[in-house]
Amino acid sequence: MSQWPSTKARIVLAALLRSGWMLKRQSGSSHRILSRPEWPDYTFAFHDQDEIGPRMLARIAKHTGLTPEDV
């Protein structure tokens, strides 16, 4: 398993959108509901400038199928 580097939330969101996730709806400035066929909806609850650490990135990857190479 590759090590996740800390990454800005806007970069992670862009990687999710490139990998097939779509913005279903947005509530306020940070909570975005993402959808993808064959996957349960995922709530991405970070502001664009937030720094997401390795442990949270690993958790996001578990729920979305994101890999370090995608980012």
**Tens-place pLDDT, residues 14-68:** 999 999 999 999 988 889 999 999 999 999 999 999 999 999 999 999 999 999 8
Distance CA 49, CA 67 (A): 21
Secondary structure (3-state) at 2: coil
Under a CB-based contact definition with an 8 Å cutoff, are residues 9 and 52 in contact?
Answer: yes
Backbone angles phi, psi at 40, to 5 degrees: -70, 150
pLDDT over 90 (residue 4): no
